[in-house]
Structure 1
Amino acid sequence: MKNKLKSIRTNIPAWALFVLLLTANAAAAQQTGYAQEYRLLKEQIKKNYYQPGANYYMEQAPARPGDRKASYLWPLCALFEAYQVGAVLEKNTRDFEHTFEIIRKYYDKRAPAAGYASYPPELGGGDRFYDDNQWIGITVMHQYELTKAPHWLKAGQEIYRFMMTGSDTASGGGLYWQEGHQNTKNTCSNGPGIVLALELYKATGDSAYLRTAAGVYQWVNRWLRTPEGLYYDNLNVKSHRIDKRVYSYNTGTMLEANVLFYEITRDSAYLAAAQAMAAAADNYFLRNQKLNDNFWFNAVLLRGFVHLWRVDGDRRYLEAFRGAIDHAIAHKTTQGLIGKEETSLNLVPQGGMLELLAQMALLQKQGVIR
């Protein structure tokens, strides 16, 4: 057999062997591409943003004169979900656990319910935003679904209690965006509120969570749904003026909410709504195979697309995302980060891209995308 193989090998022209080698190398690179990109970006985020002495992340890289000693909470929300997906990819929860350790430094026990402040209390504290807390709540529920560890469920339930302090009957229901500022009710504080409530219902079977989700869902669709099936930014509850800016993460949470409702109720109307929303989002946010929004906003949209794919098996939107992400990662800065070369880059979109790469790596590993 050895001699036979040698004979076959020596009968292949040198140029053909070279082509075969290039093809094999390209195929191997394609198989490991997104996982490698995830690791590279993770290293650059730690190098450029993390301050080991203080055990905080910075908001900008490079830091600018007058920057605070730590980032706001929002960038950590982006990193937290990225590392949760990355933990599944790498079968190692170290980065995920460490990020939650830092997030706990933002924990604020003030009345009417404990929650997470926008800035660490030990460094002066800050306002509390319902959406920041909901993003953390969704991530801990993802971890609970994987591990069934009670402390993750407890963390999700505590955030739900804080979230519900932002609910009232003004404009017929819905959730405010910022504690103590009863001006606007935003899709970004209602869409993730629905997702969190549905995840808690799945985990506990408590119908109170399902009633909350259904009520908020009806409110969002009454006030903030666009004619195309996407979502406006917010409603001013006093003037009833609608801020008609449209962001991908708002559509992403409502897309995922519809898929969750379908899984729970088996009502095909929710699945049809999710599929129509996915088509509209693809057309609006992924034009020309580019990520036409903040990377993190797109990461939330991709969560919705992935969840929909798990239900209906349609990969077209995942492939559209793949092309857009490939375009983005072809443009790295001198810092090894992803995006336009600017004086200073914010951590939020870098955390979003980290999640996008982790999601793509998992899908590639499963053979769902190339």
Structure 2
Amino acid sequence: MKKIKTILAILPALLFSCAGDDVEKYIPPTPIAPSEPGEEVVYHKRAKEQFDLINQCYRNNSGATEGLYNENYPKKDGDNSASFLWPYDGLVSGAAALHALGYDVNYADMVDRFEVYYRTPSGTVGGYGSQTNGTTGSGTRFYDDNSIVGIELVEAFNLLNNQDYVTKAKRIVEFLQAGEDDTFGGGLWWNEDQKGQQGVGDSNKPTCANGYATLFLLEYYSVCPQEEKADVLALAKRLYAWTLTNLRDPEDGCYWNDKQADGSINKTKWTYNTGVMISNGVRLYKITGEQTYLDSAIASSEGAYNYFVRPLNGLALAYPDHDPWFTTKLIRAFIDIEPYYKNAGNYIKTFINFLDYAYENARLSNGLFYEDWTGATPKRAEQLLMQDAALESLGMIALYKGETVTEE
């Protein structure tokens, strides 16, 4: 495969900061058009290649956690017997894309294994814990984790037409309903164990918990029984409005990370937080017809591209060189909004260039992707979540381009 050439920046590379408070105002140039490769890239083949590599390196093939995956490759001292819920969810999302493309990846079995993370502590509603021993869930129950599982369950229903997934998703609605409170006027805390604890950094109401709960509820709204729809939509609207009011930066439409228990704002900005609120705005516009939702999503799309995409590590334009799973969610949002905001198509092209560059320049000799897609450092290549990000990105772009496995 001939390497895809990337135009070098004329200006010195700018240092990227996820917090962004010390970054000068910057308007990036028009996204560069993809360079012509030596042969056409077939993204579904690269996605399947990545999935097979993950199974080779991370899958547990025996014992209590058979069919689950390790957090790291090689496995590290102190690692649990199976990965945390978050990386497993990321893998299932990639498997969903492969199934939609036409591959047989035992997708239903992977979705069904979410249940080994489920637990119901005495006196509470059930929810998915952050850990598992292969049989039952354990660890903290996070509202964003549960919502992301819910999104996967709805997608599984849409792909497999198994009503059991809708039934399981309804339990997550109940978990979210139980978690909503009136501190700061509403919203969800990050997790159920650390609520209202001033001075504890993890005790906060973040965009991720409220944004992904909103997205799940809007996805569930599309498949739930008619008698549930009014309450589901009302909760989604409340969480969306709370996040918009409390955590949206009016300067650029991007979203801050969280509101701490003492009422202060953590103004760190991550790609996925703005991404999920863009996706929510599009869905709320489609459901309600209210233009304000779409207007906010468009403004956030432009703001996110201008904020996060910079010359970096010798590349003319790059998305952040860290946390690619987060960036994947922003690109999903750009795909959601492209029918209403044509500039998003250019933002996606910039990402495709970045993904192509990473495939050629940011992998270990065994094929595992670095966290840093500019290729500057191989940090965190051992983590399952980094490989999930590459898998989901490749599958997502294959679907975006209309590929199927029958194509040559």
Query: What TM-score comes out, normalization by structure 1 length?
Result: 0.86
In the other structure, the counterpart of 1:42 is 51
Mapped to 1, the partners of 2:162 and 2:113 lie a distance apart of 20
Task: Provide the aligned length of Structure 1 versus Structure 2.
Answer: 339
- 8 Å CA contact 1:31–1:365 kept in 2: the answer is no
In the other structure, the counterpart of 1:282 is 305
- 8 Å CA contact 1:63–1:344 kept in 2: the answer is no
Two-structure CA RMSD over aligned residues (Å): 2.2
Q: 1:91, CA displacement in angstroms?
A: 4.7
Q: 1:95, CA displacement in angstroms?
A: 3.7
State the AA in 2 paired with 1:99: M
In the other structure, the counterpart of 1:300 is 329
Unpaired runs of at least 5, structure 2: 1-35, 196-202, 312-316, 371-376
Unpaired runs of at least 5, structure 1: 1-25
- 8 Å CA contact 2:119–2:137 kept in 1: the answer is no
In the other structure, the counterpart of 2:21 is none
- 8 Å CA contact 1:78–1:351 kept in 2: the answer is yes
- 8 Å CA contact 1:295–1:350 kept in 2: the answer is no
In the other structure, the counterpart of 1:102 is 113
Q: 3-state SS of the aligned residue for 2:259?
A: strand
Q: 1:88, CA displacement in angstroms?
A: 0.6
Matches within 5 A, 1:193-204: 193-204=213-224
My pick for the range that moved more, 136-145 or 72-81, is 136-145
Q: 1:201, CA displacement in angstroms?
A: 2.0
Q: 1:343, CA displacement in angstroms?
A: 7.3
Kindly indicate whether residue 157 of structure 2 is the aligned counterpart of residue 167 of structure 1.
Answer: no
Q: 1:130, CA displacement in angstroms?
A: 1.0
State the AA in 2 paired with 1:180: D
My pick for the range that moved more, 187-196 or 327-336, is 327-336
In the other structure, the counterpart of 1:119 is 131
Mapped to 2, the partners of 1:86 and 1:143 lie a distance apart of 12
Note the alpha carbon deviations across 1:99-133, whole angstroms, 9 max, x for none: 22332211112241111111115478211111111
In the other structure, the counterpart of 2:288 is 265
Q: 3-state SS of the aligned residue for 2:258?
A: strand
Mapped to 2, the partners of 1:232 and 1:357 lie a distance apart of 28
Mapped to 2, the partners of 1:201 and 1:160 lie a distance apart of 10
In the other structure, the counterpart of 2:357 is 327
In the other structure, the counterpart of 1:178 is 191
Kindly indicate whether residue 395 of structure 2 is the aligned counterpart of residue 358 of structure 1.
Answer: yes
The counterpart of 1:317, out of the listed 347, 351, 355, is 347
My pick for the range that moved more, 223-232 or 123-132, is 123-132
- 8 Å CA contact 2:252–2:299 kept in 1: the answer is no
- 8 Å CA contact 2:271–2:308 kept in 1: the answer is yes
- 8 Å CA contact 2:255–2:269 kept in 1: the answer is yes
My pick for the range that moved more, 146-155 or 327-336, is 146-155
In the other structure, the counterpart of 2:168 is 155
Distance change in 2, residues 1:249/1:283 (3 Å): same
- 8 Å CA contact 2:324–2:389 kept in 1: the answer is yes
Mapped to 1, the partners of 2:269 and 2:106 lie a distance apart of 32
In the other structure, the counterpart of 2:83 is 71
Q: 3-state SS of the aligned residue for 1:280?
A: helix
In the other structure, the counterpart of 1:250 is 273
Distance change in 2, residues 1:98/1:335 (3 Å): farther
Note the alpha carbon deviations across 1:32-89, whole angstroms, 9 max, x for none: 2x12211221111111111111312110111122222111111011111111122111
Kindly indicate whether residue 40 of structure 2 is the aligned counterpart of residue 30 of structure 1.
Answer: yes
Q: 1:320, CA displacement in angstroms?
A: 1.8
In the other structure, the counterpart of 2:245 is 222
Mapped to 1, the partners of 2:296 and 2:264 lie a distance apart of 26
Q: 3-state SS of the aligned residue for 1:320?
A: helix
Q: 1:170, CA displacement in angstroms?
A: 0.6
Q: 3-state SS of the aligned residue for 1:345?
A: coil
Q: 3-state SS of the aligned residue for 1:243?
A: strand
State the AA in 1 paired with 2:114: I
Computing the radius of gyration over CA atoms, which structure comes out larger, 1 or 2? 1
Distance change in 2, residues 1:153/1:123 (3 Å): closer
In the other structure, the counterpart of 2:386 is 349
State the AA in 1 paired with 2:72: Q
The counterpart of 1:207, out of the listed 226, 230, 234, is 230
Kindly indicate whether residue 61 of structure 2 is the aligned counterpart of residue 52 of structure 1.
Answer: yes
Note the alpha carbon deviations across 1:202-250, whole angstroms, 9 max, x for none: 223411111111111111011111131111111113x101111111111
Note the alpha carbon deviations across 1:248-282, whole angstroms, 9 max, x for none: 11111101000001111122222221111111111
Mapped to 2, the partners of 1:297 and 1:349 lie a distance apart of 10
